[in-house]
Amino acid sequence: MKKVLLLLAFSIGVVSVQAQTKEELHTQKTEKQAIADAAQAEADALQAQIDALPGWRKGLFGTIGGTLSNFSNWYSQGTPDNASGNIGVSINAYANLIEDKFFWRNSLTSNLNWVKLDDKSNDVLEGTALEVDDKDFNPTTDVFNISSLYGRNIAKNFAVSALAEYRTTLLDNFNDPGYLDVGVGGTWTPMENLIVVVHPLNYNFVFADGDSVFESSLGAKIVADYTRQIGAISFKSNLSTFQSYKSGDLSNVTWTNSFSYTLWKMIGVGFDFGLRSNKQEALNYALGQFDPLALPVQAVPNFDNVDNKLQSYWLLGLSYNL
């Protein structure tokens, strides 16, 4: 009986010591976490002071997404023997010189995507007139934008400015079309990461090969850009519009967005999407698809009857943040 009582007392003592030790460890953890949070707050405050100093501010983040697959004798699908793939890359970079009296902001945005579907059952037709299969990765999404904005401050949040912005595709039809906007006006910076550019005097140069519907014109340029990093999150949103004074058919608008969330070290998850409306591009595409011999007979596409659908793209994948 004494042995049982001693064993019971010993067990209660061990449990009590373990409980007390666990409570002490939780208390120590809470104290250490409070110290770490205070240190992080001080570090963030110091970083904010550093960011507010004149000089260069540079950043780069992007997204890489892709899938590769191979099927053999997978009869439940329409193409039982195939190799397919999808690869997408987006890059967002900026280099901004911020001084007391002037600023010079430079940015680059690019989004490229390739897709392939190799139907292996068509391999016997390779090199013949009957070949219908394409084994190569072909470009789909193809976006490239680079801009440079210079401004002289005349007030705390307002500057007279000059902007040069170039947009085109890199993988297919480079500079066909290509758009170069050059103009002057004013830039409003209501907060550090947001800039709004309004240039009532802007010329939109449009480059295209051959006889096309593209035409350069004078108009107004409006750009709004918000780029920021908050902890593990990096994001950029850019709205670029051109309103032609000659005709609304020559106007265009593009809105691109990039988000990146760092999960481990510099690697995370990224999401990009973009929207565009450009009637010149819609008409150029419609003319390329038009067949005058097709039945029923259709009217030749023009600015009045073309279906200017909203263009869009999105990309989801791994991201790498510098």
The per-residue pLDDT for range 77-95, each reduced to its tens digit, is: 777 787 888 888 888 898 9
Report which of residues 227 and 82 the model is more confident about. 227
Residues pairing with 121 in the sheet: none
> What is the CATH number for 306?
2.40.230
Task: Check whether residue 114 and residue 37 sit in a common domain.
Answer: no
Range of the domain at 309: 56-321
| Cα angle, residue 286 at apex, residues 132 and 281 outer, rounded to 5° | 110
C-alpha span between 177 and 276 (Å, rounded): 14
- What's phi and psi for 65, nearest 5 deg? -130, 145
Per-residue model confidence (pLDDT) at position 289? 87
Task: Check whether residue 205 and residue 253 sit in a common domain.
Answer: yes
Residues pairing with 105 in the sheet: 96, 149
pLDDT level of residue 15 (50, 70, 90 thresholds): very low
C-alpha span between 219 and 217 (Å, rounded): 7
Task: Check whether residue 115 and residue 146 sit in a common domain.
Answer: yes
C-alpha span between 58 and 105 (Å, rounded): 10
Task: Check whether residue 143 and residue 251 sit in a common domain.
Answer: yes
Task: Check whether residue 167 and residue 97 sit in a common domain.
Answer: yes
Q: Is 55 helix (H, G, I), strand (E, B) or coil?
A: strand
pLDDT single digits (tens) 118-154:
777 765 544 554 455 667 778 877 889 999 999 999 9
For β-strands 194-207 and 217-230, DSSP reports them as antiparallel
Task: Check whether residue 29 and residue 164 sit in a common domain.
Answer: no
User: Helix count (H) and strand count (E) of the chain?
Assistant: 2, 12
Task: Check whether residue 31 and residue 102 sit in a common domain.
Answer: no
Q: Number of structural domains, the chain?
A: 2
Task: Check whether residue 21 and residue 96 sit in a common domain.
Answer: no
Task: Check whether residue 2 and residue 126 sit in a common domain.
Answer: no
Task: Check whether residue 8 and residue 122 sit in a common domain.
Answer: no
Per-residue model confidence (pLDDT) at position 176? 86
Task: Check whether residue 41 and residue 176 sit in a common domain.
Answer: no
Task: Check whether residue 39 and residue 65 sit in a common domain.
Answer: no
